[in-house]
Amino acid sequence: MAAQDLLRTRPQATRAEIREYMSGNYCRCTGYQAIVDAVQEALQPAAAGGER
């Protein structure tokens, strides 16, 4: 849900902003890097003005 809200409200978010936004939703001791990667990848079309 947090990632969906981020996609809707912050399509230009940086990796640092993604990490901050998602910080309450994942454990940093496991594979959170893949979550940040996935959110960043989903943001790319939105940042370019395209569809998600």
pLDDT for 44:
86
pLDDT digits (tens, 9 = 90+) for 3-46: 899 999 999 999 999 988 888 776 666 667 888 899 999 998 76
Q: What is the CA radius of gyration of the chain?
A: 11
**Cβ-based neighbours of 17, under 8 Å, separated by 6 or more:** 10
Q: Where are the alpha helices (DSSP H) in 1-52?
A: 2-9, 15-22, 32-47
pTM of the predicted structure, to 2 decimals: 0.68
- Do residues 8 and 1 touch, judged by C-beta distance below 8 A? no
Would you state the pLDDT for residue 41?
A: 93
Confidence of residue 49 (pLDDT cuts 50, 70, 90): low
- pLDDT for 32 equals 79
